[in-house]
Chain A
């Protein structure tokens, strides 16, 4: 099955960011495809390379980058939500790209299932 993912909460403050990544890992392990992860609302904070968690904690941003590097998962950050929050191309971690909300609708059209992680 082909999944589209919408993540609408920031990392570390909300379980949604962890759950979305774990869902992607589990789905891929089961042979499913992640069509795209779309980052919206505070979810755009998942994309900043300026993130530096304490060493004994998980690195949520790097985990997303690895998902892109290893499985070619498309990581799209909403431009409007990103600009509001100071997320620009120059602070994007590897594997992320900034694009429009149309990419979320497109994912809804192309995926078999759309799964939302957020409040």
Chain B
């Protein structure tokens, strides 16, 4: 088993990176690997509550993050500095996450076998 980390760095909409990252995560979960997700920079917006995409005519994929549990993907980490810089707190997020400082995040990344960044 290898440690796969998926690093989400982009806002949920405006580009396709967040959605296509989620698609890889769901596939990786079926490979019986140690999967974790990291949200840094604008990636923390992917987890915010109350997403409404009707106005831009794009599918709202945020509910999928809540379904990750069902795929045994339970390790979600948010970088504290990125969250705070955007005026967000844990209460603003749709799922339970572990909040790590950038130093702690760096240590966690160093432990991984495969880091895929989106």
Report which A residues bind B (CB closer than 8 A): 6, 8, 40-41, 80-81, 100-102, 104-106, 108-109, 114, 116, 118-119
Contact = CB atoms under 8 A, between A and B. Distances in A.
A101 B27 contact: yes
A100 B28 CA distance: 11
B90 to A, nearest CB: 28
Contacts of B17: 41, 119
Contacts of B23: 80, 101
Interface in B1-25: 2, 4, 16-17, 20, 23-24
Contacts of A116: 116-117
B116 A102 contact: no
B27 A102 contact: yes
A40 B20 CA distance: 9
B114 interface: yes
Nearest to A106: B31
B114 A114 contact: yes
A116 B112 CA distance: 15
B2 A109 contact: yes
A105 B28 contact: yes
B115 interface: yes
